[in-house]
Amino acid sequence: MKKYLLSTVIFAFLGLATALAAGPIDGKWVGKIGDDYALTLELKTDGDKLTGTIGNTEGSLPITDGQVSGNNFSFKTERQGTVIPIKGTVEGDKMIISVNYNGNEIPGTLTRQGGSASTATASAPRMKPEETEVWNPVPKVITPGKTPLDAPSDAIVLFDGKNLDQWVSVKDKSPANWTVEKGVLTVNKAAGNIETKQSFKNYQLHIEWKIPEKISLTGQSRGNSGIFLASTGPGDAGYELQVLDSYENKTYSNGQAGSIYKQAIPLANASKKPGEWQVYDVIWTAPTFTADGAVQTPAHVTVIHNGAVVQNNYELKGETVYIGQPKYKKYESAPIKLQAHGDKSEPISFRNIWVREL
Ligand code: MG
């Protein structure tokens, strides 16, 4: 009785093991026969029986009369009333087949897709989900602003509507002398460009600007200003993201609002009407230089204008220039500069300026 029980258990175990072990032919196979005829096989062995499907891009059919002997197999399929015998052999993840079509032997080669249970356990243990989990470092926790317009908790606020404490005049580094009124900063063209006291390298910038409702003049003379993403010297030296009234105001495309001045045409004109507040969200990746001043990696910029991407990780050719070709000049970190353009149209305004160092 005991012996009978034991052998029952052993046989049951062996049966289970056989059922679990995938044979060398089991699995999905993809390849070609003849010159260029795509073929997919999904095969399953059960003892010396083979079942599964044969297919191509048009669909698949069950195979018939499937037989297995070691690594060799044979089965049949049917196409438009013609029975087609197929035989083949498997070596690892490669399958060689021969298709007998109307007496002609057509060779084919297929490869295993996704591995089988047997090859997976034999050559490369299946990975666990935990092996690709990265727990460190943990991103710092910040408090987002009330809306996407508002500064997150780790932002440096450059202008919150109260004063210009974060800014100086570009020409002599004296206190910035633009107009602050009712929470709004307005360009003082006579005072010239202003820039941040602090220097930055890579960052995310949020800035809002408004062309006066009653703007005059045309083209580049209509509400021209600019945001120099890195101010590398006096005047207009640096990398200018153009600010201009580009609402139904024609000018050269690489000089309209959202352009990297005279380098990159914006991907769309997302301009609002004069008198309406507009938003730039900018991601600036500063250029890097070797010790002797050669460019190691060029600058890149992404600009979102009123919610629309207008510069998509654009690779700059160098500093923006009014005349001539752009070229790079070594810098490590630089202030952000706002342009007091010399045109005679009414001065534009800014508000809610903040930056996050990256
Ligand atoms: Mg400008």
Tens-binned pLDDT, residue by residue, of the chain (358 aa)? 444 544 444 444 444 444 445 778 899 999 998 878 888 999 999 999 999 999 887 788 899 999 999 999 999 998 888 899 999 999 989 999 999 988 889 999 999 997 654 444 455 679 999 999 999 999 999 999 999 999 999 999 999 999 999 999 999 999 999 999 999 999 999 999 999 999 999 999 999 999 999 999 999 999 999 999 999 999 999 999 999 999 999 999 999 999 999 999 999 999 999 999 999 999 999 999 999 999 999 999 999 999 999 999 999 999 999 999 999 999 999 999 999 999 999 999 999 999 999 9
Q: What is the pLDDT of residue 23?
A: 79
Q: Write the CB contacts of 309 (distance below 8 Å, at least 6 apart in sequence).
A: 267, 302, 303
84 vs 78: CA distance, rounded Å: 6
CATH number, position 191:
2.60.120.560
3-state secondary structure labels for all residues of the chain? CHHHHHHHHHHHHHHHHHHHCCCCCCEEEEEEECCCEEEEEEEEEECCEEEEEEEECCEEEECEEEEEECCEEEEEEEECCEEEEEEEEEECCEEEEEEEECCEEEEEEEEEECCCHHHHHHHCCCCCHHHHCCCCCCCCCCCCCCCCCCCCCCCEEEECCCCCCCEEECCCCCECCCEEECCEEECCHHHCCEEECCCECCEEEEEEEECCCCCCCCHHHCCCEEEEEEECCCCCCEEEEEECCCCCCCCCHHHCCCCECCCECCCCCCCCCCCCEEEEEEEEECCEECCCCCEEECCEEEEEECCEEEEEEEECCCCCCCCCCCCCCCCCCECCEECCCCCCCCCCEEEEEEEEEC
Q: Calculate how far, in angstroms, residue 294's C-alpha sits from the geometric centre of ligand 1.
A: 27
Q: Calculate how far, in angstroms, residue 143's C-alpha sits from the geometric centre of ligand 1.
A: 34
Is there a domain that residue 199 lies in? yes
Q: Calculate how far, in angstroms, residue 154's C-alpha sits from the geometric centre of ligand 1.
A: 29
Q: Calculate how far, in angstroms, residue 189's C-alpha sits from the geometric centre of ligand 1.
A: 12
Q: Calculate how far, in angstroms, residue 340's C-alpha sits from the geometric centre of ligand 1.
A: 8
Q: Calculate how far, in angstroms, residue 308's C-alpha sits from the geometric centre of ligand 1.
A: 20
- Do 181 and 85 sit in the same domain of this protein? no
- What are 1's two structure tokens? 């009785």
- What are 234's two structure tokens? 């006096």
- Do 27 and 164 sit in the same domain of this protein? no
Is there a domain that residue 17 lies in? no
- Do 114 and 197 sit in the same domain of this protein? no
Q: Calculate how far, in angstroms, residue 146's C-alpha sits from the geometric centre of ligand 1.
A: 31
- Do 71 and 184 sit in the same domain of this protein? no
Give the chain's domain count: 2
Q: Calculate how far, in angstroms, residue 81's C-alpha sits from the geometric centre of ligand 1.
A: 75
Q: Calculate how far, in angstroms, residue 225's C-alpha sits from the geometric centre of ligand 1.
A: 4
- Do 248 and 338 sit in the same domain of this protein? yes
**Look-up of token digits 């510069």:** 311
Is there a domain that residue 30 lies in? yes
CA distances in angstroms from 7 to 10, 17, 48, 263, 352, listed in the order given: 5, 15, 24, 83, 82
Q: Calculate how far, in angstroms, residue 344's C-alpha sits from the geometric centre of ligand 1.
A: 13
Q: Calculate how far, in angstroms, residue 289's C-alpha sits from the geometric centre of ligand 1.
A: 26
Q: What is the pTM of this model?
A: 0.67
**Look-up of token digits 């630089």:** 334
Per the structure, the complete domain to which residue 82 belongs is given by 22-132
Single-letter amino acid code for the residue at 38: A
Look at strands 308-315 and 203-210 and give their pairing: unpaired
Is there a domain that residue 219 lies in? yes
- Do 171 and 246 sit in the same domain of this protein? yes
Q: Calculate how far, in angstroms, residue 242's C-alpha sits from the geometric centre of ligand 1.
A: 5
Q: Calculate how far, in angstroms, residue 232's C-alpha sits from the geometric centre of ligand 1.
A: 16
- Domain termination site, one of 117, 132, 147: 132
Q: Calculate how far, in angstroms, residue 82's C-alpha sits from the geometric centre of ligand 1.
A: 76
Is there a domain that residue 274 lies in? yes
Is there a domain that residue 35 lies in? yes
- Do 300 and 187 sit in the same domain of this protein? yes
Q: Calculate how far, in angstroms, residue 341's C-alpha sits from the geometric centre of ligand 1.
A: 6
Is there a domain that residue 300 lies in? yes
Q: What is the pLDDT of residue 115?
A: 61
- Do 169 and 297 sit in the same domain of this protein? yes
Q: Calculate how far, in angstroms, residue 256's C-alpha sits from the geometric centre of ligand 1.
A: 9
- Do 284 and 178 sit in the same domain of this protein? yes
- Do 97 and 243 sit in the same domain of this protein? no
